[in-house]
Amino acid sequence: MSSDTTGGESPAQGSSGKASSTSSSADKQKEKARVSRTSLILWHAHQNDAVAVRKLLEEDRSLVQARDYDNRTPLHVASLHGWIDVAKCLIDFGADVNAQDRWKNTPLADAEGARKHNMIELLKSYGGLSYGQNGSHFEPKPVPPPLPNKCDWEVDPSELDFTNSNIIGKGSFGEILKASWRGTPVAVKRILPSLSDDRLVIQDFRHEVNLLVKLRHPNVVQFLGAVTEKKPLMLITEYLRGGDLHQHLKEKGALNPATAINFALDIARGMAYLHNEPNVIIHRDLKPRNVLLVNSSADHLKVGDFGLSKLIKVQNSHDVYKMTGETGSYRYMAPEVFKHRKYDKKVDVFSFAMILYEMLEGEPPFSHYEPYEAAKYVAEGHRPTFRSKSYLPELKDLTDKCWAADMNQRPSFLEILKRLEKIKENVPTDHHWNIFNT
């Protein structure tokens, strides 16, 4: 008798019923074993035991579609808990990423309901769709992925009008021009044609595009599109009429406390967003030239230029990274970067302190030193001296904490925001800010 027999009379069974009885007994044993294995794979998926799950699937591939009493598959279980290795194993064995349980939830809907961001990315990469009652939008139809596809932001160069363009910035790889795109003024970072075939330049350009396409914040310069399929390569962002903070401070000098605090709040908000875990973006070149004013009345700032930024997936907030030493501009550089030591997102907090000092004093830190010498002096333990006669002690204290030699002693941008909000509440409106040179 075949072991696959599940019912019906076989001619060989005879009228005695013995064969039928034996078959029935075998079927019960088989069903019991199947139920046991189904329970096992669901249990191991729940326990995040990828090794045990793989072993079961190697013995019986059909278990990948096992269902519990709520019609939930092992992939539903893994997705809800965020067990990436288990999910990958199940998908390798052909799990249906869009299987639905009794509530019509897909694994992706479960992952979104539980806010398991890495799992959400994984399922979407395999065509996972979000529908059911736990989906993030509670819709009966699939929810489109939040990130735009390349076709959404790839710009045809013919759409860019450079007729009345002018250069608003220059770098080693190219120039930034004010141009017009579909009738709107935009800033275009254009890679020099001579470098358009340089592998490293293309790599850096694509890195910046991939970074910017994910960013959405009122205090971060907004990415609009890019030219990646034709030469020269171009990156298009919103155009901010107010110019950069470097030029503004050059013209205005020291800012009054209220303005300095408002500017600092805008920068800190943008940086707190970039430093949000688990996808931390370390700017690495935070300086006045990379902070832009939305308009000439300077009532709003945005952080820009992510050419040197580093996207890090953080396992925990104390992770540190060995990255390229001396990345960024010397005058605003954290000592650990200058010394080629391991560093983390707190390098941006140090640079923020230097910018805050410059806004309060009206001149760059260690302006009498060349940039490299200034960085070297800072790395030796020196810090700029506050010379303003009437600076606010609370702002000086915050600056001191932000440029601490030990990066672990520096506050996070979320903590900085809390401090600044508190200081702002206590700033008298008639407070005058006088600079006395010594």
Q: List, by residue number, the catalytic residues.
A: 285
CA angle 363, 243, 274 (to 5 degrees): 85
Of 115, 111, 110, which is closest to residue 133 (Cα–Cα)?
Answer: 110
CA distance 232 to 245: 29
Max Cα–Cα distance, the chain, nearest Å: 116
CA distance 276 to 274: 6
Cβ distance 239 to 222 under 8 Å? no
Q: Tell me the two tokens of residue 420.
A: 């600044």
Ligand-binding site membership of 124 (annotated): no
Listed in sequence order, the residues at least 6 apart from 344 whose beta carbon sits closer than 8 Å to its beta carbon are 282, 318, 319, 320, 321, 407
Cβ distance 288 to 355 under 8 Å? yes
Angle between the 74-81 and 84-92 helix axes, to the nearest 10 degrees? 150
DSSP sequence for 217-267: -TTBPPEEEEE-SSSSPEEEEE--TT-BHHHHHHHH-SPPHHHHHHHHHHH
- Dihedral sign from CA coordinates of 211, 217, 218, 224: positive
Q: Tell me the two tokens of residue 113.
A: 């309901």
Extract the annotated binding site: 189
Q: Which residues are annotated as a binding site for ATP?
A: 189
